[in-house]
Each structure stands twice: as structure tokens, then as C-alpha cells.
């Protein structure tokens, strides 16, 4: 299974307490909000470094042979050729455009589908049945600015998809905003930065994430809730007892 997808799923899993005297606190054993860094501006594979503070990375030339962080690939077209090339490169996960081709199921590689915020609730609910592992909420009309409207979209996606949700954020996002994002049910954030700024941006965001408080148990359970499926059972006709008024 994809290592990054596994970590996304663990973000909102109920903490487990192991037996024994020298056991870690349940909250400390769980991963916090995941940080995925999308690196731009690299023209050669040798230019890309692996910042230790990132949980996962995407870049034009993923250094999948690295052992510090998890590598993935953000696909532009999502056609069979692009998917095959990325898969042969050995990446851990793929970010797929919603307009891309439906690819065969592969348990070894994670699939994150990128969906626009304008999608209808009916289509959004169908995501739980798709052979994908997580959902990326795309930016809205006013970009990635953290507004009340964007926060509402985050709540909507996390409550209807039944999958781990990621969102794109700006490099200067605040601690208060990240806490609200996590409380809303988001499992991971994606920040895009140039190759020259990647280390500073990643280090700053890691420091902010480390200061965040774990969401309350009630909000964790709400994030894990399964959207109920309403089925209407037709009423059975009453049996004729054979008695007539005549």
C-alpha cells in the first residue's frame, strides 16, 4: 500500500494504546496534519533536494531513490502514457486530474483525485465508491486565500467524500488557519514553492504544524463518519382476505 496514503488515513484514526509500562501517549503516536511540498523551478533531477521536514514531495523529476521522504507525481493530463511513465519511475502516489483516464486499480500506488469545489453534492458523494484513495480540493475563484467560503468547501468535502482530503494552501498560511483546516477534517496540505525556497518554506510550515493541537475526539469521529445511504423500500401490498361487501 502507498506509504503516504497510509499516513493520511492514520491522521483521523482513533488512537490506540499499546500494552506495557513504557508506552507512548496515544496522541504522540499518531501523525499530525500531513505536509506535501510541490517543488517547481527544477530543470535537472540533481537540483532537487529532500527537505527532512516534508512528509511527501512532488516535483518534475521525482528523486524516488531518496530515503528521507515519500515521492509522488502530480499529473497534468492523467492519460495512460503519463500514468505508466510515473508508475515505472517508482513513485508512491499519483495526483490525478478529474478529466484524466480511469486507470487500473493498483494497491501499491496511491491515487489522489483532484476535484473542483464547484462539483455537485450528488457527484461528490460518489467519490466514496471510486477506486481512489484520497481527494484534493482544488483552488476556488479567488485562489488559495483562506476565506469563509473556502472553509465551507473544506467542511463539505471532508463530510461527503468518505476519503482523506487534502487542500492547497499558501506558503504564508497562519497557525490559526491551519488549526481550522485540521479541525474541519483535512488530513493533509499541499504547498507549492520554488526549488530555491523549498527548505525555508518547508521548515517554517513544519514548525507551525508541530504547534497544532489534535482535534477533539468528537470532531475526529465526525470526520470518520460514513455518509448514510437512504434506501426506500416499497410498501408490500396487503393480502386480500377474500371478504367482499356484497
Question: What pTM, to 2 d.p., does this model score?
Answer: 0.81
- pLDDT-derived band at 46 (thresholds 50, 70, 90) equals confident
Return all residues near 160 (Cβ < 8 A) that are at least 6 apart: 121, 124, 125, 127, 227
CB 4 within 8 A of CB 92: yes
The confidence score (pLDDT) of residue 123 equals 94
Q: Which residue has the cell 499516513?
A: 7
Q: Please state, as a whole number, how many other Cβ atoms lie within 10 Å of the Cβ of residue 219.
A: 15
Residue 95 clears pLDDT 90, i.e. is over it: yes
Report the chain's C-alpha Rg in angstroms: 22
CB atoms within 10 A of CB 70: 25
Q: Is the pLDDT of residue 226 over 50?
A: no
Q: Comparing C-alpha atoms, which of 48, 62, 124 is closest to residue 91?
A: 62
- pLDDT at residue 127 in the model: 94
Domains present along the chain, CATH in parentheses: 3-10+30-224 (3.20.20.70)
Q: DSSP alpha helices (H): ranges in 145-193?
A: 148-160, 175-183
Amino acid at each position: 500500500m502507498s506509504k503516504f496514503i497510509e499516513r493520511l488515513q492514520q491522521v483521523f484514526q482513533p488512537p490506540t494504546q499499546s500494552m506495557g509500562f513504557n508506552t507512548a501517549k496515544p496522541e504522540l503516536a499518531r501523525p499530525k496534519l500531513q505536509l506535501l511540498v510541490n517543488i517547481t523551478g527544477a530543470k535537472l533531477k540533481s537540483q532537487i533536494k529532500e527537505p527532512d521536514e516534508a512528509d511527501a514531495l512532488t516535483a518534475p523529476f521525482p528523486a524516488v531513490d531518496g530515503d528521507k521522504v515519500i515521492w509522488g507525481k502530480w499529473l497534468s493530463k492523467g492519460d495512460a502514457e503519463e500514468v505508466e511513465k510515473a508508475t515505472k519511475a517508482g513513485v508512491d502516489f499519483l495526483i490525478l486530474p478529474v478529466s484524466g483516464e480511469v486507470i487500473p486499480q493498483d494497491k501499491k500506488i496511491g491515487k489522489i483525485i483532484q476535484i473542483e469545489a464547484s462539483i455537485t453534492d450528488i457527484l461528490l458523494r460518489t467519490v466514496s465508491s471510486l477506486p481512489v484513495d484520497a481527494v484534493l480540493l482544488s483552488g476556488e475563484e479567488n485562489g488559495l486565500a483562506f476565506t469563509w467560503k473556502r472553509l465551507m468547501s473544506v467542511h463539505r468535502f471532508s463530510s461527503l467524500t468518505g476519503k482523506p482530503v487534502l487542500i492547497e494552501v499558501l506558503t504564508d498560511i497562519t497557525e490559526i488557519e491551519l488549526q481550522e483546516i485540521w479541525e474541519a477534517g483535512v488530513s493533509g496540505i499541499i504547498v507549492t514553492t520554488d526549488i530555491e525556497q523549498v527548505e525555508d518554506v518547508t521548515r517554517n510550515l513544519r514548525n507551525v504544524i508541530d504547534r497544532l493541537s489534535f482535534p477533539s475526539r468528537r470532531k475526529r469521529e465526525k470526520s470518520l463518519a460514513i455518509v448514510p445511504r437512504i434506501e426506500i423500500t416499497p410498501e408490500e401490498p396487503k393480502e386480500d382476505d377474500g371478504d367482499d361487501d356484497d
